[in-house]
């Protein structure tokens, strides 16, 4: 199948990610069908798509007419049979290996022989998920980042048997829907983004745990130091511009001081034990009571939208 043959996208999973992915493709004129196991989840998905559209309209990135057209291109169903005429099927269901494996085994019996299969898992093995799929050459990881209607990055993760054509076609498709695709050349835990994110998270926890700095200053240091650079240049180009000799010498003494802990630290375990899970429980590293949770999300999205507009301006 070539890129031009892709007209209809099937999305399995009507949560935040599935709904966001549906909105992204519909906005670019693709017919989309969203499935889930119950009508109540599909109704929530419709509301999520509306929220995503409203936020884009509010930022001047999308018009009301474009939003209406996008909504008209999305249909909903509780049956997997709707995948029979889809050229690309993206799975964003619960992050449990056995459930994903059975899902894809069932879908392969419904879909056309040349439809592309993609899983939106954020960390499970692509080889493992595709274990029961017979034609593994068309199977790939396609990891959108949350919130999907804002974050540009999409990671395409090769399984052992993913074909070059599958990678090439879906990479080009992602550029058409104005995403920034990167290719993960082998099935590595965490892919690229989460490996980088959790390396920084581990060191941030270590800095606080060692009493080097408090939570607020760790976050502030990232925002106004490395994080200020990274939307413009990544860590490797940062080293190029700073001088690889300088980075080599710093690495020679600093690497030995950085955390290499293999288990979550006690401070994180205590937050888990007390159910202080962040925004979802109104308290985590920070306090989110009295409306601070909604304020934090709105502020995050506002700043992300500003960055998104900047990226589009660069193009």
Please report, for the domain that includes residue 72, its CATH number: 3.40.50.720
CA distance 120 to 41: 18
What is the distance between the alpha carbons of residues 279 and 281, in angstroms, rounded to a whole number?
Answer: 5
In a domain, 12, yes or no: yes
Determine, yes or no, domain membership for 100. Answer: yes
Residue 210 C-alpha from the chain's centroid: 31
The model's pTM is 0.93
Residue 313 is predicted with a pLDDT of 67
- Between CA 275 and CA 280 the distance in angstroms is 10
Residue 10 belongs to some domain of the structure: yes
CB burial readout 133-171, b (16+ within 10 A) else e: beebebbbbbbbbebbbbbbebbbbbbeebeeebbebbb
Residue 244 maps to a domain = no
Structure tokens at 192: 């690229």
The answer to whether position 99 is within a domain reads yes
Inside any domain, residue 222: no
What is the β-pairing status of strands 139-144 and 153-158? antiparallel
Range of the domain at 92: 3-184
- Please give the chain's pLDDT, 315 residues, in tens: 899 999 999 999 999 999 999 999 999 999 999 999 999 999 999 999 999 999 999 999 999 999 999 999 999 999 999 999 999 999 999 999 999 999 999 999 999 999 999 999 988 999 999 999 999 999 999 999 999 999 999 999 999 999 999 999 999 999 999 999 999 999 999 999 999 999 999 999 999 999 999 999 999 999 999 999 998 899 999 999 999 999 999 999 999 999 999 999 999 999 999 999 999 999 999 999 999 999 999 999 999 998 888 876 665
Number of domains in the chain: 1
Query: Could you tell me if residue 179 is inside a domain?
Result: yes
Domain presence at residue 114: yes
* Residues acting as catalytic residues: 122, 143, 155, 194
Q: In what order do the strands lie in the sheet with 88-91?
A: 74-77, 31-35, 8-12, 88-91, 116-119, 139-144, 153-158, 180-184
């Amino acid at each position: 199948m070539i890129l031009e043959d892709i007209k209809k996208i099937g999305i399995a999973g009507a949560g935040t990610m599935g709904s966001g992915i549906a909105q992204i493709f519909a906005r670019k004129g693709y017919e989309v069908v969203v499935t889930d196991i119950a009508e109540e989840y599909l109704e929530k998905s419709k509301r999520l798509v509306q929220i995503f559209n409203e936020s884009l309209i509010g930022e001047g990135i999308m018009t009301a007419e474009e939003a209406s057209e996008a909504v008209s291109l999305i249909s909903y169903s509780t049956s997997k049979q709707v995948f029979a005429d889809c050229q690309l099927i993206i799975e964003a269901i619960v992050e449990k290996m056995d459930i994903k494996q059975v899902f894809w085994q069932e879908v392969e019996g419904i879909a056309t022989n040349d439809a592309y299969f993609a899983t939106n898992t954020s960390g499970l093995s692509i080889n493992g998920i595709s274990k029961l799929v017979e034609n593994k050459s068309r199977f790939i990881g396609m990891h959108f980042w949350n919130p999907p209607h804002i974050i540009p990055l999409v990671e395409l993760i090769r399984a052992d048997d993913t074909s070059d054509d599958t990678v090439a076609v879906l990479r080009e498709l992602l550029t058409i829907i104005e995403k920034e695709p990167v290719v993960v050349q082998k099935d590595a835990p965490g892919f690229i983004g989460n490996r980088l994110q959790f390396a920084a998270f581990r060191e941030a926890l270590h800095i606080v745990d060692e009493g080097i700095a408090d939570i607020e200053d760790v976050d502030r240091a990232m925002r106004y130091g490395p994080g200020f650079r990274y939307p413009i240049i990544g860590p490797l180009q940062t080293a190029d511009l700073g001088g690889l000799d300088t980075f080599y010498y710093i690495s020679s003494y600093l690497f030995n001081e950085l955390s290499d802990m293999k288990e979550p630290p006690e401070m994180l375990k205590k937050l888990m034990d007390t159910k202080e899970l962040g925004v979802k429980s109104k308290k985590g590293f920070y306090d989110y009571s009295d409306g601070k949770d909604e304020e934090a999300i709105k502020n995050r999205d506002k700043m992300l939208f500003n960055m998104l507009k900047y990226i589009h301006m660069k193009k």
